[in-house]
């Protein structure tokens, strides 16, 4: 009973809610369809607002865990999964809409495969490599660029605001992908000595 109480902290409840909300968001986003080219799409704006809410819950669960001193192993396991689920699902949606290129998903998924594999190897040696600030910046810039591109989808396609913001958030996405690659290389460098040493 005590173990159950230690797992279901407010922070972990928020994280679990984020995991559930991601597929619900995708269902809503798919039902909205293609917005009008000439007018502001309030339905697409709702899709953007929904995803923004999901993004902000990442900050909320972190704040709750730290402020209440309730950091748990379950939370450490589930929080990054919730983040990755939100990023990959939203990028798939944007790819389907022709907003981002397939190379973006290639970079994100390849990095996650690399880091997950490295984590398993170093964990088998009893080592835990702490997350760096690069990972935090990578997540923040990626989520911001995705939110921005979803917002642009709600604007009239040929408007000056849409064109300007689309360029700005695509450039931010490029920065996010550079950080994604950099953080992957950084993790690989930190793991290298554990990869080459013999048991």
Tokens 């689920």 belong to 85
Task: Give 109-155 pLDDT, tens digit per residue.
Answer: 999 898 888 888 887 777 777 667 888 899 899 999 999 999 999 88
Q: What's the pTM value of the predicted model, to 2 decimals? A: 0.87
Asked if residues 191 and 129 have their Cβ atoms less than 8 Å apart, the reply is yes
Q: How far is it, in rounded angstroms, from Cα 148 to Cα 109?
A: 21
* The predicted structure's pLDDT at residue 147: 96
Q: Which helix (H) or strand (E) holds 83?
A: helix 73-96
Q: How far is it, in rounded angstroms, from Cα 91 to Cα 85?
A: 10
pLDDT tens across the length of the chain (199 residues): 444 456 788 888 888 989 999 999 999 999 886 555 567 788 889 999 999 999 988 888 777 777 777 777 777 778 888 889 999 999 999 999 999 999 999 999 999 898 888 888 887 777 777 667 888 899 899 999 999 999 999 888 778 888 899 999 999 999 999 999 999 999 888 888 878 776 6
* The predicted structure's pLDDT at residue 198: 66
- C-alpha triplet 34, 149, 33: angle, nearest 5°: 15
* The predicted structure's pLDDT at residue 5: 54
What is the torsion angle, in degrees rounded to the nearest 10, for the CA atoms of residue 134, residue 140, residue 143 and residue 148?
Answer: -120
């Amino acid at each position: 009973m005590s173990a159950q109480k230690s797992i279901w902290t407010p922070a972990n409840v928020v994280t679990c809610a984020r995991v559930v909300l991601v597929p619900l968001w995708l269902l809503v986003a798919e039902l909205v369809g293609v917005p009008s080219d000439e007018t502001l799409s309030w339905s697409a704006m709702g899709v953007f607002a929904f995803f923004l809410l999901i993004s902000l819950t990442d900050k909320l669960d972190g704040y709750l865990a730290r402020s209440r001193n309730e950091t748990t192993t379950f939370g450490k396991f589930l929080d990054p999964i919730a983040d990755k689920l939100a990023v990959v699902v939203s990028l798939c949606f944007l790819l389907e809409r022709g907003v981002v290129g397939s190379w973006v998903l290639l970079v994100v998924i390849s990095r996650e495969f690399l880091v997950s594999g490295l984590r398993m190897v170093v964990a088998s040696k009893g080592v835990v490599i702490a997350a760096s600030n690069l990972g935090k910046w990578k997540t923040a810039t990626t989520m911001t660029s995705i939110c921005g591109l979803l917002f642009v989808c709600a604007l009239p396609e040929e408007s000056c605001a849409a064109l300007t913001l689309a360029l700005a958030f695509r450039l931010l996405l490029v920065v996010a992908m550079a950080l994604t690659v950099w953080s992957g290389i950084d993790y690989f460098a930190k793991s290298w000595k554990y990869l080459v040493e013999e048991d």
